[in-house]
Amino acid sequence: MATVAVDPIPRIEGHLGVKLTVEAGFVTEADAHGNMFRGFENFLIGRDPNDAITFTQRICGVCPVPHGTTSTYAIDHVYGYSVGHITFSDKDNDGLGVPAKAVHIRNLILGAEYLMSSITHFYHLAAQSYVQGPNMPPWTPYFDTSYYSGILLSNGRALPDGNNLWSAVIKQYVKALRIRRLTFEAGALFAGRMPMTSAFLAGGVTTQSRGSDFRSRCKKFYDLMQEVGLFIVKEYVPLALALGALYPTYDNPTNAASVGVTTGAGIGAGLGNFLSWGAFPDPATNMLAIRGGYKIGAAAPVVLVTGKGDVANMVAQVNANLIEDTNRSWYVADSKWGYPAGQEWQRPGAVTRTEPNRTKGTKYSWMKAPRWRVGTTYHAMEVGPLARMVVQGLYPVDGTTTIASTFGVAGYFGYTSYLDTPTTLDTNVIDAGLVSALGAHNLVPTVQTWIVNLKGGLSVMDRLRARALESLLLVQLLLGAFDKGTQRFGAVGTVDGDAGIPTTGWIGAAAAVANGASYNQKAAPVNPRSGYGATEAPRGSLSHHVSIDKGRIAAYQCVVPTTWNASPKDALGSLRATGDFNGRGAMEQAMINAPHAGVAPGPGVEAMRIAQSFDPCIACAVH
C-alpha cells in the first residue's frame, strides 16, 4: 500500500489536488482537496443586496454568468419578485415575476455562457489528456506516449498539417479558440460585456435596447451563433462520441465490450446519484427548458420542478433537504458562526458567517460537503451536464439503452443520423477534415459502428459525451432546429418591418418582444427576509442563499457545482444510507478502483482524467 499525491491537477480552474491510497496498482481511497480560502460570502455582509450580483461574478473567471444569474434569482426572491428558487415571467398576473423580455435576455446570456464553457472544457482543458500535441507549449510537458491511443500516435508527433486523426483534432483545438470568442461576442450584445456581465439586477435586466435596435441585436446574435452551432454539430459532438472508441477503458463496460475490452473498463463511474436544480425558464409557458430533480442509484429520476407551479414545493424541498457538512473541512464549527457545536453541518441559509479553522486533525479541504436528503438519509450527489441529461430522461445510464434512441435523434439533433450510408460518414453533419482523417486510419467502419451502438452508462466518457449532446440540444433551443440540407439553424423573417430577424428558438421569441419592458421596480424590503436562488451552471447545480435586514445583506452562502462534485467525505454516520460510498463525494468515489500506473511518485494520469471529466472549478468551490 502506498499514498500518492496528485497535486496540482492540471488544466482546471483553480488549485485541486487528490491524495490517493494505492494497493496492487489500484486506488482504494481518495481525498480531494481545495487548497485555499477566499471569503466571498463574508465580505458581502453589510452590502446592498444588488451588490451581490456583481461581487459573486468575481468568484470565478470561467463561470461568472451563472453566479450572476443565480445571485439575481436570490435577490429577486428577497425583493418579492418570486417565491424562491428561480424567477419566471410576470405574464400570469400573480404579482410575481419579471418582464418576459428580461427572462429571455437572462436565458440568452446564460445560454451563450454554457456553450462557451462546454467547448472550452472539451478542447482546452480535457482534450490534451487524450491527444498528444506538438513539442511546444501549451502541450508540453506531456506524459509518456503509452498513455495515449496508439491510433493517434501512428503518424508520430507531426505538426497539425498532415492527413491524420491527430492533426485533425489539433486543428479543432485551434478553431475552438475562435468559436468560444464568438459566444462571448453574442452574449455581450445583451450583457453589455462578457464574461463579467453588467446586465443583471433584481427585477429584470439593465438592457434598455428596444424596437429595431433590439431586433438588430437579436439578428447579430443569431448570425454569430450559426458558426458556433455548426462547430458543435460537425466537430465537437462527433469527436466526443468517437473518443471512447480510442480509450475504451474510460468508457462504460458495455461500450468497451463492443470493441473487445472486457476487463478494466468503466474508469471514473462515480456515485450514480444525480441532482439538477433546473434552468432556463420559458416566458411563453413559465416552464423550465431544463427540469430540476434527482436520481439515487438505480431508481428512476424524481422530477421536482418543471415550471412555475412547482417552485413552492421545490423551495420547501431545498429548505428541508439541503445541508452542508463541514466535519472534514477547515472551518470553525460552533454556534457563533452558524454551525452547531458537535453537529458540524447546517442548512446553508442558516449559516451567518464562514470562519477558517486551520487545525488539521481529520480535516483536509477548504471545500464543504453538500448533501441531499431523500427520506431519512443524506446522499452525496453528482451534478453537471450528465446529471441534467439523466434527470431529464435524455441520457441512459443503464448500459443497455442506446444513446440515440433515448436522446431522440430526430427530435433534438434536427437530422436523422451521422451516418449517410453503411460505409461512409455524412459530411453534412461531420467535418470533412475529420472524415478524411478517420479514413486515413481506416477507422470509418469502426467509428460508424461505435456511434450507432453507443450505450449510456457511468464513466469518464459518459460525462464528456453528455456535455457535448447537451450543447447540441442547447444551441437548437437558442436558434431553432438544425437543417443539414441548408446547414442552418432555425429561420428568419420580417418582424415589425425589419427583415432578416430570427423567428425561431429563444432568440426568435426575444425578437418578438423587442418593444417590451425589461425591468419591474420594487423597493428593497426593510424587514428581515431570507431567500435563495438556484439554477444550473455549465458545471452543475448552483444555489445562492441570502438573508437581508434593514435593506442590507446579513448573511450569504453559495453552494456551487464543484462543492458538490469534489466535496470531502461527510461525517453524517447514521444519517447516511448504509453502504453509501463511505461518505465520499462524487469525484472521490469516481477514483475508487481506478488503475494507478506505479506508486510514489506515480504519474497520476488516470486520476487527472477522472477529475477533469467533472470540469472542476476550485475557485468557485473555495469561495
Q: Are 547 and 553 in contact (CB under 8 A)?
A: yes
Contacts (Cβ under 8 Å, ≥6 apart) of 552 = 46, 47, 48, 49
Kindly tell me if the per-residue pLDDT of 599 is higher than 60.
Answer: no
Residue 48 pLDDT grade (very low, low, confident, very high; cuts 50, 70, 90): very high
Q: What is the pLDDT at residue 373?
A: 94
pLDDT, tens only, 15-26: 888 899 999 889
Residue 350 has pLDDT above 80, yes or no: no
pLDDT in tens, 246-285: 999 999 999 999 999 998 999 999 999 999 999 999 999 9
Give 440's pLDDT tier (boundaries 50, 70, 90).
Answer: confident
Cβ-Cβ contacts under 8 Å for 356 (sequence gap 6 or more): 37, 330, 331, 332
Cell of 355: 470562519
> Helix, strand, or coil here: 571?
coil
DSSP state of 568: -
Q: What does the pLDDT average to over 41-58? A: 92
Choose among 305, 243, 299: nearest CA to 271. Answer: 299
What average pLDDT score do residues 398-427 get?
A: 62
Least confident of 238-242, 398-402, 446-450: 446-450
Nearest 5 degrees, angle CA 181-CA 186-CA 190? 135
Q: CA-to-CA distance for 249 and 293, rounded, in angstroms?
A: 30
Element (H, E) at 433: helix 432-440
Name residue 429's amino acid. V
C-alpha dist (Å) from residue 554 to 47, 48, 70, 157, 560: 8, 10, 18, 57, 20
* Confidence class for position 84, pLDDT limits 50, 70, 90: very high
93-145: pLDDT as tens digits: 788 999 999 999 999 999 999 999 999 999 999 988 888 776 777 666 667 77
Q: Sort 192 into a burial class: Cβ within 10 Å, 0-12 / 13-18 / 19+.
A: middle
Element (H, E) at 174: helix 165-191
Mean pLDDT across the chain, nearest whole number?
A: 88
Is 452:422 a contact under the CB 8 Å cutoff?
Answer: no
And the C-alpha cell for 51?
A: 451588490
Q: Is 617 helix (H, G, I), strand (E, B) or coil?
A: strand
pLDDT value, residue 438: 81
For residues 69 and 12, the model is more confident at 69
Give the residue with greater pLDDT, 457 vs 94: 457
Rounded to an integer, the average pLDDT of 497-513 is: 97
What single DSSP character describes residue 202? T
Res. 421 pLDDT band, cuts 50 70 90? low
Contact of 387 with 271, CB cutoff 8 Å: no
Per the model's pLDDT, the better-predicted residue between 432 and 498 turns out to be 498
Confidence of residue 235 (pLDDT cuts 50, 70, 90): very high
Alpha-carbon gap, residue 73 to 62, rounded angstroms:
20
Q: How far is CA 600 from CA 2, 43, 124, 411, 525, in A?
A: 7, 41, 28, 50, 58
322-325 vs 369-374, strand pairing mode: antiparallel
Look at residue 592 in the predicted model and tell me its pLDDT. Answer: 96
Q: In terms of residues, how long is the chain?
A: 623
What is the mean predicted confidence (pLDDT) over 415-436?
68
DSSP state letter for 352: -
Write down the domain spans for the chain. Answer: 100-122+163-251+408-454+459-516
Average pLDDT for 183-210? 94
pTM above 0.85, yes or no: yes
Contacts of residue 336, Cβ cutoff 8 Å, sequence gap at least 6: none
Segment 580-592 shows an average pLDDT of: 94
N-terminal to C-terminal alpha carbon distance within the chain = 35
Band the pLDDT of 378: cuts 50, 70, 90: very high
pLDDT at 156: 45
Confidence check: pLDDT of 309 > 50: yes
Spatial neighbors of 260 by CB under 8 A, at least 6 apart, are none
Higher-pLDDT residue of 160 and 566 is: 566
CB–CB of 419/217 below 8 Å?
Answer: no
CB of 381 closer than 8 Å to CB of 586: yes
CA-CA-CA-CA dihedral for 596, 589, 270, 617, to nearest 10: -90
User: pLDDT tier at 441 (50, 70, 90 boundaries)?
Assistant: confident
Looking up cell 420542478 gives 305
* pLDDT at residue 155 is higher than 50: no
